[in-house]
Amino acid sequence: MPGPAAVAPGPVAATATQDATEALPDAPVPPAMAEAIEDFGNVLTLERGRSDHTLAGYESDLRQCAAWLAAHRGARDWRDVTAAQAMDWLYSLGGDRFAVSSLARKLSALRGFARHLVREEIRTDDFTALLQGPKRVRRVPGTLTGAEIGRLLAAPQGGDPFALRDRALLELFYSSGLRVSELAGIALQQVDLENGFLRVFGKGAKERVVPVGGRAVEALRVYLAAGRPAFVKGRTGSALFLSERGDPLSRKTLWVIVQKYAARAGIERGVKPHQLRHSFASHLLGGGADLRSIQEMLGHANLATTQIYTAVEDKRLVEQHAKFHPRNRE
């Protein structure tokens, strides 16, 4: 039996892009709607362990939606919002202003919030149940070659504390395939150099054990002995990687460090921190590791997320065939 049809843009939705522009995140939000968003944020933080970054994104999207609904559809309470009005808001975000991934994230935030309203008995129905978002085309992640990785990891030269820190940081990043937020948040007590692993608390505060390669272990030993003590200040906590002020390294600083050494290594194309994570997974797959193991190390909840790396390997095989097979040469 076919499922329920998605809500189609009717006459109201058709005019949404004509009579409305995107409401700014700081536009007025009715008090009742703002209070419900705040309650949802508390649930995400206290019960589900979502990160501050995720929470800020969800709250921004929901406040944007509430402000638009108030300004253009007269909404004052989430109890009165209809599926058609929610679709109007999504249509108002169309055009080239937002990437498909951004639109999908906004819809995901609204769907999660709508389910929250039902659980809290604020509404009896999920007004987003029939909404359809834009189709996302899964892009093959950008990766670095083995040679580029080698040059990148060798880029921090010298024995000063900064070089020792950055060498250990890059080695661990590539060795364990951590997310940038996970790397920034690693504490001393999560690292077991004797047994070569670390405990990571990823999305949703889910714990996983990740192996640490021999070179990363050695780089970390040197950093802990001769590098980290130079950064420690009176207020310093247990963060593994420290800034010059003795604070945990921020995501922004990690970004700067990766780009600095990528340029020093002569890698001309832009290099982003998450490409080390992608390279970790792609190189493991190319070396014969099974997808399930890679899924566990990356902390993916769904194997389908990990399977995107097979596209990287398939692309490499096609390129190798085109380059070396005798029937492909001139």
Convert the pLDDT of each residue in 96-106 to its tens digit.
667 777 888 89
- Selecting among 79, 151, 199, 274, the annotated active-site residue is 274
Asked, for residue 126, whether it belongs to a domain, the answer is: no
Asked, for residue 1, whether it belongs to a domain, the answer is: no
- Selecting among 63, 228, 278, 300, the annotated active-site residue is 300
- Selecting among 76, 115, 203, 264, the annotated active-site residue is 203
Q: Output the pTM of the full model.
A: 0.56
Domain stops at, among 119, 136, 160: 119
Convert the pLDDT of each residue in 93-135 to its tens digit.
876 667 777 888 899 999 999 999 999 999 999 999 888 766 6
Asked, for residue 138, whether it belongs to a domain, the answer is: no
Query: Is 274 considered catalytic here?
Result: yes
| Whether residue 95 sits in one domain with residue 156 | no
| Whether residue 159 sits in one domain with residue 89 | no
Asked, for residue 165, whether it belongs to a domain, the answer is: yes
Question: What is the number of structural domains in the chain?
Answer: 2
CATH of the domain at 313: 1.10.443.10
Per-residue model confidence (pLDDT) at position 117: 96
Domain stops at, among 100, 119, 138: 119
Rounded-to-integer distance, Cα 98 and Cα 65, Å: 14
| Whether residue 93 sits in one domain with residue 191 | no
Query: Is 316 considered catalytic here?
Result: no
Q: What range defines the domain where residue 94 resides?
A: 11-119
- Selecting among 165, 277, 278, 283, the annotated active-site residue is 277
Domain stops at, among 103, 119, 135: 119
Query: What average pLDDT does this structure show over 250-268?
Result: 92
Query: Is 136 considered catalytic here?
Result: no
| Whether residue 294 sits in one domain with residue 153 | yes
| Whether residue 24 sits in one domain with residue 83 | yes
The answer to whether the Cα torsion of 210, 171, 280, 301 is positive or negative is positive
Query: Is 277 considered catalytic here?
Result: yes
Asked, for residue 244, whether it belongs to a domain, the answer is: yes
- Selecting among 179, 228, 278, 283, the annotated active-site residue is 179
| Whether residue 203 sits in one domain with residue 279 | yes
DSSP strands (E only) in the chain: 191-192, 197-201, 207-211
CATH of the domain at 81: 1.10.150
Asked, for residue 124, whether it belongs to a domain, the answer is: no
| Whether residue 309 sits in one domain with residue 263 | yes
Please count the other Cβ atoms lying within 10 Å of the Cβ belonging to residue 311: 14
| Whether residue 278 sits in one domain with residue 193 | yes
- Selecting among 58, 174, 223, 309, the annotated active-site residue is 309
Query: What average pLDDT does this structure show over 76-105?
Result: 85
Instruction: Give me the residue label for tokens 């987003």.
Output: 128
Least Cα distance to 280 among 296, 261, 260, 294 occurs for 294
Query: Is 300 considered catalytic here?
Result: yes
Q: How confident is the model at residue 16 (pLDDT cuts 50, 70, 90)?
A: very low
| Whether residue 312 sits in one domain with residue 190 | yes
| Whether residue 153 sits in one domain with residue 108 | no
Asked, for residue 330, whether it belongs to a domain, the answer is: no
Convert the pLDDT of each residue in 19-58 to its tens digit.
333 444 456 899 999 999 999 999 888 877 777 788 888 9
